[in-house]
Amino acid sequence: MTISHRATDASVASLEASKPTKVARMACCCKLSDLLPIVQQIHREAAHANAAQTRQQSEAA
């Protein structure tokens, strides 16, 4: 697998295009449905932390 990065400068892009980075292939055997509960938990934790931070900021004001 070859990874190339886009650059805003054409000269940098041409340098990167001439030197691609080789990486090992990785396989994933999990299903998206297996990841959904983890993503939902992380979202709940982030929402809770954000609500707590908002409360602290409003109390300080």
Q: Show the CA angle centred on residue 32, arms to residues 51 and 42, nearest 5°.
A: 15
Average pLDDT, the chain: 75
Q: 50 phi and psi, to 5 degrees?
A: -65, -40
For residue 3, the cross-strand partners are 21
- pLDDT over 90 at 40, yes or no: yes
Alpha-carbon torsion angle 13, 17, 5, 23, nearest 10: -160
Question: How far is residue 5's CA from residue 1's CA, in Å, rounded to a whole number?
Answer: 13
Q: 28 phi and psi, to 5 degrees?
A: -125, 130
List, for residues 5-33, the tens digit of each pLDDT value. 555 445 555 555 566 677 677 676 778 88
